[in-house]
């Protein structure tokens, strides 16, 4: 028996070690942004566990929507787990907080966050980040086009007092000006606010033809319903951050007639089969529903697309270096930047040196909320 054990031990030691790629995943499955983070966390089991001959291990932490915890977990991933890439975090402020550590370590991060500030303007830190959500400019372009088509001349704005809201204010100010739409009132609020009555009164008093709310999920409901309660009769627009079941459920009938530009995933059954992302999105939704018993919010799909990007880029990086090395992480970054015409759930990715989101107009559609259901609007 002892001889047999010794022989087995020698055989195990002599066997070639299987290569493994480690991916650190951070999502907010608790805290104020849990409505976004939960479908992201739940998508992790659907990510590829093998890329070529290399196994992929996903290590998950919940940052509880706290940027301080996000930083701590990133440091832990780098020192203890020595990950080859990151997926996450959920929140825009969280992603901005970890940029220096991502760049210093030379580790690519696939960020499913709203703010384009993680990739724009491009610099030495942001070159390590790839964003799996549509940049605000692409969504704003659709919103402004719809406003202009429907005679909107004046616009009010209320958005988060954080990087997400700041980015949207900057984008909508520039695009509204170019379209000849006058921004007549600007208000801000916190994700955790319980009332925005004061801000809403100021917006209504300015009598804009339309108001844009730059919020996400449940917290995007509060300004909307408050405006309706005050009797505002103009058009109310939402950003793609509101594309969650919670938004519709919490707001109820007061959200009727809301306009939004977002991923086609929100109205997947209504888009034509010719839309490139439809089949990929349908496959993801079916797999998620089979595993969890419910359909996913679009935010989960952003994490699924991160897996598709890794699946596309990692084989190219593996030609140059082995996972677990700085050389592999650098090669993975370069390969991600070279991804072309990759069809994901959110659209088609065409990365470049200056564009680390890579979406075009195939990545968004306009819709309106009717009878509690988002309805696709014609171009």
Q: What is the pLDDT of residue 17?
A: 46
CA 369 – CA 379 distance, rounded (Å): 16
Q: For the domain with range 18-134+280-360, which CATH number is right: 2.40.128.50, 3.40.50.2300, 3.40.190.10, 3.30.750.24?
A: 3.40.50.2300
* pLDDT of 2 above 90: no
Topology agreement, domain 18-134+280-360 and domain 136-262 = yes
pLDDT tens per residue across span 268-318? 999 999 999 999 999 999 999 999 999 998 999 999 999 999 999 999 999
Task: Assign 357 a pLDDT band (cuts: 50, 70, 90).
Answer: very high
Q: pLDDT tens digit string along 196-228?
A: 999 999 999 999 999 999 999 899 999 999 999
- Residue 4, pLDDT above cutoff 70: no
Please check whether residue 142 is in contact with residue 366, taking contact to mean a CB–CB distance below 8 angstroms: yes
Burial class (CB in 10 A: 0-12, 13-18, 19+), 134: buried
Q: What is the pTM of this model?
A: 0.88
d(CA 364, CA 166): 21
How far is it, in rounded angstroms, from Cα 363 to Cα 347?
4
Is residue 3 scored above 90 in pLDDT?
no
In the predicted structure, residue 9 carries a pLDDT above the cut 70 = no
The full set of domain ranges for the chain reads: 18-134+280-360, 136-262
- Summarised one tens digit per residue, pLDDT across range 169-204 is 999 999 999 999 999 999 999 999 999 999 999 999
**Which residues are bridge partners to 187 per DSSP?**
158
The answer on pLDDT for 106 being more than 80 is yes
Q: Is residue 262 over pLDDT 50?
A: yes
298-307 pLDDT, tens digit each: 999 999 999 9
Looking at the DSSP bridge assignments, the partners of residue 221 are: none
- What is the Cα–Cα distance from 107 to 129, expressed in whole angstroms? 9
The mean predicted confidence, pLDDT, of the chain is 94
pLDDT at 15: 36
313-324 average pLDDT score: 97
pLDDT at 12 over 60: no
pLDDT at site 179: 98
- Return the pLDDT at 18: 57
Distance of CA 15 to the CA centre of its chain: 41
Cα 270–Cα 276–Cα 277 angle in degrees, nearest 5: 70
Name the CATH superfamily housing domain 136-262.
Response regulator (3.40.50.2300)
């Amino acid at each position: 028996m002892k001889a047999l054990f010794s022989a087995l031990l020698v055989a195990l030691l002599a066997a070639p070690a299987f290569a493994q790629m480690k991916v650190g995943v951070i999502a907010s499955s608790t805290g104020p942004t849990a409505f976004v983070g939960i479908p992201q966390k739940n998508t992790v089991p659907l990510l590829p566990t093998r890329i070529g001959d290399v196994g992929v291990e996903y290590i998950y932490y919940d940052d509880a929507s706290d940027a301080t915890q996000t930083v701590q977990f990133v440091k832990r991933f780098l020192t203890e787990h020595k990950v080859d890439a990151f997926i996450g975090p959920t929140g825009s402020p969280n992603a901005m907080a970890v940029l220096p550590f991502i760049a210093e370590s030379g580790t690519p991060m696939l960020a499913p966050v709203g703010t384009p500030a993680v990739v724009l303007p491009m610099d030495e830190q942001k070159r390590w980040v790839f964003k799996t959500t549509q940049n605000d400019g692409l969504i704003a372009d659709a919103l402004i086009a719809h406003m202009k088509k429907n005679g909107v001349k004046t616009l009010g704005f209320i958005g988060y007092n954080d990087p997400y809201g700041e980015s949207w204010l900057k984008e909508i100010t520039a695009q509204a000006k170019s379209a000849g739409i006058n921004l007549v009132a600007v208000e801000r609020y916190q994700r955790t606010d319980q009332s925005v009555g004061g801000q809403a009164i100021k917006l209504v008093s300015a009598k804009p033809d339309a108001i844009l709310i730059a919020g996400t999920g449940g917290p995007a409901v509060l300004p909307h319903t408050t405006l309706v309660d005050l009797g505002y009769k103009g058009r109310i627009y939402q950003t793609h951050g509101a594309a969650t079941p919670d938004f519709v459920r919490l707001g109820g009938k007061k959200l009727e007639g809301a306009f939004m530009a977002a991923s086609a995933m929100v109205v997947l059954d209504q888009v034509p089969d010719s839309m490139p992302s439809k089949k990929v999105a349908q496959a993801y939704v079916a797999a998620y529903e089979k595993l969890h018993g419910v359909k996913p919010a679009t935010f989960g799909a952003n994490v699924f697309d991160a897996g598709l990007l890794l699946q596309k880029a990692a084989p190219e990086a593996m030609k140059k270096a082995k996972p677990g090395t700085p050389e592999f992480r650098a090669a993975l970054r370069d390969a991600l930047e070279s991804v072309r015409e990759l069809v994901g759930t959110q659209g088609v990715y065409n990365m470049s040196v200056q564009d680390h989101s890579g979406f075009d107009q195939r990545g968004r559609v306009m819709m309106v909320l009717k009878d509690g259901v988002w309805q696709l609007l014609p171009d």
